[in-house]
Amino acid sequence: MAASAQTPAAPLTAEQAKAVLAEVIKAFGAPENAQRMEEARDNACNDMGKMLQFLLPVATQIQQDVIKAYGFSSDGEGVLKFARLIKSYESQDPEIAGMSGKLKAMFLPPMTLPPHGAGTGGVATS
């Protein structure tokens, strides 16, 4: 049985998390990464299933390349831990919340709510 020698990510302060988040966002803007994301977007054709298949792995890899230098594992679990850490600071720091939204917008399609049916606004008509 292999021993799991995973070291937990070093806890980051809000300021450190903000700096790492800024670095991740900057990495998405690097020409080679922007091109990789654009190719993945083209392959996905605005199809949610294909977004998960093509875009998410590229976005995850770009994040992994940055966050591994800050003690996060360089796998999907590291990205999830980083995302949870950022989420925990969103309510405390509006700047982190804004940066997190910007990051998500880089690889998640905009979510549109289905329109409410006419006359179903919760007002009883009689």
- Give, in order, the Cα–Cα distances in Å from 106 to each of 16, 51, 55: 21, 12, 10
- For residue 55, which of 73, 72, 75, 33 has the smallest C-alpha distance? 33
Q: How confident is the model at residue 114 (pLDDT cuts 50, 70, 90)?
A: low
Domain definitions of the chain by residue range: 14-107
How many Cα atoms sit within 13 Å of 100 on the Cβ side?
Answer: 19
pTM of the model: 0.76
What per-residue confidence (pLDDT) applies to 117? 52
Distance from C-alpha of 79 to C-alpha of 9, rounded to nearest angstrom: 11
- Separation between Cα atoms, residue 20 and residue 82, nearest integer Å: 9
Query: What integer pLDDT is reported at residue 5 of this predicted model?
Result: 39
Q: What percent of the chain has pLDDT over 70?
A: 78
Say how far apart CA 96 and CA 105 lie, in whole Å.
14
Residues 3-34: tens digit of each pLDDT: 333 444 458 999 999 999 999 999 999 999 99
